[in-house]
A and B are shown apart, each in its own frame.
Chain A
Amino acid sequence: MSFAVESWDPSYGVSADETAMGEASNPVDLGVEVRSDDWAPIQPGDDVEPPTSLLFVDGVRRIDARVWITGADGRAHPGVCATVAAGAVRCRSDSARVAVARVERALYTAAPEAGPIVARIGEGSSTYELRPVVVTPDTDINQAMNLAVHSHMTAIETSLDVPAEPGEMIVFDGPLRGREAAAAVGYVKTQHVQYLPDEQQLIVNQLGPGQRTPIFLIGGQFTRWSWYLRLPGPISHPLSGVVRVELAGLGQAEDAAGRADEISAALPRYASTPHKDTRAPQNLHPIAGLERELRRRLGDPHLMERALRVAAAR
Chain B
Amino acid sequence: MVGRVIGIEDATPLEFWVAVDPEQTLQLDDVVALDRILPDGQLVRIFGLVTQVRARHEGARFQSDVFLISDGILPAEVSEAALVQPTRFEPEILLPPLPGAAVRRATDNERDIALSFDDVDRRLPAGLSRSDEPIFLDLDFVDGTKGAHINISGISGVATKTSYATFLLYSMFNSGVLGAEAANTKALIFNVKGEDLLFLDHHNSSMNPEQVARYRALGLEPAPFRDVGILAPPRKGDPNATPATGSRTLGVSPFFWTIAQFCQQGLLPFLFADSEDERQQYTIVVQSVTAQLTKLPEGGDGTVRFDGRTIRTFSELVDAIETKLIPDDPDDMVDQRWTGRAVGAGTINAFIRRLASSRRHLEQLIRADIGNAERYALDLDAHQVTVIDIHSLHDRAKRFVVGVVLRQAFDAKEASGVAKPYQFVVLDELNKYAPRDSSSPIKEILLDVAERGRSLGIILIGAQQTASEVERRIVSNCAIRVVGRLDAAEAKRDEYGFLPTVQRQRATILKPGSMYLSQPRLPVPLLVEFPFPAWATRSAEAGLSPGGASQSGDPDDPFAGLV
Q: Which residues of A are in contact with B by a Cβ distance under 8 Å?
A: 89, 91-98, 269-270, 276, 285-286, 288-290, 292-293
Bound form: Cα–Cα A97–B73 in Å: 9
- Given A276-B61, A276-B62, A286 and B74 touching (CB < 8 A)? yes
Decide: B59 and A92 in contact? CB cutoff 8 A: no
Ordered by A's residue number, 26 sampled pairs between the chains whose C-beta atoms are within 8 Å are: A91-B72, A91-B73, A91-B75, A92-B72, A93-B71, A94-B72, A95-B72, A96-B68, A96-B69, A96-B72, A98-B75, A270-B73, A276-B61, A276-B62, A285-B68, A285-B74, A286-B73, A286-B74, A286-B75, A288-B74, A289-B59, A289-B75, A289-B76, A292-B59, A293-B59, A293-B75
- In the assembly, what is the distance between CA of A270 and CA of B73, in Å? 6
With a cutoff of 8 Å between Cβ atoms, the chain A residues found around residue B42 in the complex are: none
Q: How far is the CB of A60 from chain B (nearest CB, A)?
A: 14
- B70 at interface by CB-CB < 8 Å: yes
- A89, A285, A290: residue with the most chain B Cβ atoms closer than 10 Å: A285
**Residues of the A chain whose Cβ atoms lie less than 8 Å from the Cβ of B76:** 96, 289
Identity of the chain B residue whose Cβ is nearest the Cβ of A91 in the assembled complex:
B72
Q: Mark B342-380, 1 if CB is under 8 A from A, else 0.
A: 000000000000000000000000000000000000000
The answer to whether B73 touches A285, judged by C-beta atoms less than 8 angstroms apart, is: yes
Given contacts A289-B74, A293-B75, 15 further A-B contacts (CB under 8 A): A91-B72, A91-B73, A92-B72, A93-B72, A94-B72, A95-B72, A96-B73, A96-B74, A276-B65, A285-B68, A285-B74, A286-B75, A288-B74, A289-B75, A289-B76
Number of A-B contacts (CB under 8 A): 41
In the complex, the chain A residue whose C-beta lies closest to that of B73 is: A285
Please name the residue on chain B nearest to A54 by beta carbon.
B72
Within the assembled complex, what's the spacing in Å between the Cα atoms of A94 and B59?
A: 16
Contacts of B62 in A (CB 8 A): 276
Q: Which residue of A lies closest to B60 (CB)?
A: A289
Q: Which of B487-526 contact A (CB under 8 A)?
A: none
Beta-carbon nearest neighbor of B68 in chain A = A285
Residues of B within 8 A of A270 (CB): 73
Q: List chain A residues, Cβ under 8 A from B75.
A: 89, 91, 96-98, 286, 289-290, 293
Rounded to whole angstroms, the CA-CA distance of A293 and B65 in the bound complex is 15
Residue ID in chain B nearest A276 by CB atoms: B62
Per the bound structure, the CA–CA distance linking A289 and B72 in Å amounts to 11
Closest to B62 in A: A276
Within 8 A of A (CB), among B46-105: 59, 61-62, 65, 68-76
Q: Which of A289, A290, A293 has the most CB of B within 10 A?
A: A289
Q: Which residues of B contact A92 (CB under 8 A)?
A: 72
A132 to B379: give the CA distance in the assembly, Å: 101
Give complex CA distance A91, B76 in Å: 11
Cα A93 to Cα B69 in complex, Å, equals: 10
Q: Which of B62, B65, B70, B73: most chain A Cβ within 10 A? A: B73
Number of interface residues of B (CB under 8 A): 13
Set of chain B residues within 8 Å of A276, measured between Cβ atoms: 61-62, 65
By CB atoms of chain A within 10 A, which of B72, B75, B76 has the most? B75
- Cβ–Cβ < 8 Å partners of B73 in chain A: 91, 96, 269-270, 285-286
Nearest CB of B to A265, in Å: 15
- Measured in the bound complex, the distance between the Cα atoms of B69 and A270 in whole Å is 11
CA–CA, A136 to B521, complex, Å? 77
Return the 4 tightest CB-CB contacts between A and B, nearest first.
A96-B75, A289-B75, A89-B75, A289-B74
Residues of A within 8 A of B71 (CB): 93-94, 269
Docked CA distance A290–B76 (Å): 9
Separation of A287 and B59 alpha carbons in the complex (Å): 12
1/0 contact string of B273-312 vs chain A (CB within 8 Å): 0000000000000000000000000000000000000000
Chain A residues with CB under 8 A of B74: 96, 285-286, 288-289
**Whole-angstrom distance between the alpha carbons of A292 and B69 in the complex?**
14
Residue of B nearest to A93 (CB): B72
A-chain residues with CB within 8 Å of residue B61 when the two chains form the complex? 276
Instruction: Give residues of chain B (192-242) contacting chain A, Cβ–Cβ below 8 Å.
Output: none
Complex interface: chain A residues within 8 A of B68 (CB): 96, 285
Give min CB distance, A249 to chain B, whole Å.
Answer: 30
Residues of B within 8 A of A95 (CB): 72
Residues of B contacting A293 with CB < 8 Å? 59, 75
Instruction: Give Cα A289 to B66, complex, Å.
Output: 13
Query: Shortest distance in angstroms between B23's beta carbon and chain A's nearest beta carbon?
Result: 16
Measured in the bound complex, the distance between the Cα atoms of B133 and A72 in whole Å is: 74
Q: How far is the CB of A136 from chain B (nearest CB, A)?
A: 42
Q: How far is the CB of A50 from chain B (nearest CB, A)?
A: 12
Q: Which chain A positions have C-beta within 8 A of B65?
A: 276
Please, which residue of chain B has its CB at the minimum distance from the CB of A275?
B62
- How far does the alpha carbon of A288 sit from the alpha carbon of B72 in the complex, in Å? 13
What's the Cα separation between A181 and B22 when bound, in Å? 35
Cα–Cα, bound, A75→B75 (Å): 48
B254 to chain A, nearest CB (A): 74
For A56, the closest partner residue in chain B by CB is: B75
* Chain B residues with CB below 8 A from A89, complex form: 75
Query: Least Cβ distance of B52 to chain A in Å?
Result: 26
- CB neighbours (8 Å) of A285 from chain B are 68, 73-74
Q: How far is the CB of A43 from chain B (nearest CB, A)?
A: 22
B229 to chain A, nearest CB (A): 68
Give every chain A residue within 8 A of B72 (Cβ-Cβ).
91-96
CA distance A94 to B66 in the complex (A): 12
Query: Within the complex, what minimum Cβ distance (angstroms) separates B71 from chain A?
Result: 7
Residues of chain B within 8 A (CB-CB) of A97 are 75
* A98 vs B74: C-alpha distance when bound (angstroms): 10
Q: Given the complex of chains A and B, what is the CA–CA distance between A28 and B65 in angstroms?
A: 40
**Chain B contacts for A91, CB-based, 8 A:** 72-73, 75
In Å, the complex CA distance between A92 and B483 comes to 49
Chain B CB within 10 A, most for which of A96, A286, A292, A293: A96
Whole-angstrom distance between the alpha carbons of A104 and B502 in the complex? Answer: 44
Distance, CA A97 to CA B71, complexed state (A):
11
Interface positions, chain B 97-139, Cβ under 8 Å from A, are none
A175 to B61, CA, bound (A): 29
B34 to chain A, nearest CB (A): 20
Bound Cα distance from A89 to B77, whole angstroms: 12
A51 nearest CB across to chain B (Å): 12
Residues of B within 8 A of A93 (CB): 71-72
**Complex Cα gap A3–B73 (Å):** 33
Set of chain A residues within 8 Å of B70, measured between Cβ atoms: 94
How many Å from the CB of B56 to the closest CB on chain A?
15
**In the complex, what's the smallest C-beta–C-beta distance from A214 to chain B, in angstroms?**
28
CB distance from B64 to the nearest CB of A (A): 8
Chain B residues whose CB sits within 8 angstroms of the CB of A98 once the complex forms: 75
B438-471 toward A: CB 8 Å interface, digit per residue (1/0)? 0000000000000000000000000000000000
CA distance A91 to B62 in the complex (A): 19
B75 to chain A, nearest CB (A): 4
Interface residues of B in 368-413 (CB under 8 A from A): none
Expressed in whole angstroms, the minimum distance between the Cβ of B65 and any Cβ of chain A is: 8
User: Smallest Cβ distance from A124 to chain B, in angstroms?
Assistant: 12
Residue of B nearest to A269 (CB): B73
A83 CB to closest chain B CB, in angstroms? 20
Per the bound structure, the CA–CA distance linking A95 and B75 in Å amounts to: 8
Shortest distance from the beta carbon of A165 to any chain B beta carbon, whole Å: 14
What residues of chain B lie closer than 8 Å to A292, measured between beta carbons?
A: 59
Residues of B within 8 A of A289 (CB): 59, 74-76
Q: Residues of B contacting A286 with CB < 8 Å?
A: 73-75
Bound-state Cα–Cα, A40 to B73, Å: 30
User: With the chains together, A95 CA to B59 CA distance in Å?
Assistant: 14
B230 to chain A, nearest CB (A): 65
State how many angstroms separate the Cβ of A47 from the closest Cβ of chain B: 22
Residue of B nearest to A296 (CB): B59
B70 to A, closest residue via Cβ:
A94
**How far, in Å, is B39 (CB) from chain A's closest CB?**
13
A293–B61 Cα gap in the complex (Å)? 12
Nearest B-chain residue to A98, judged by Cβ: B75
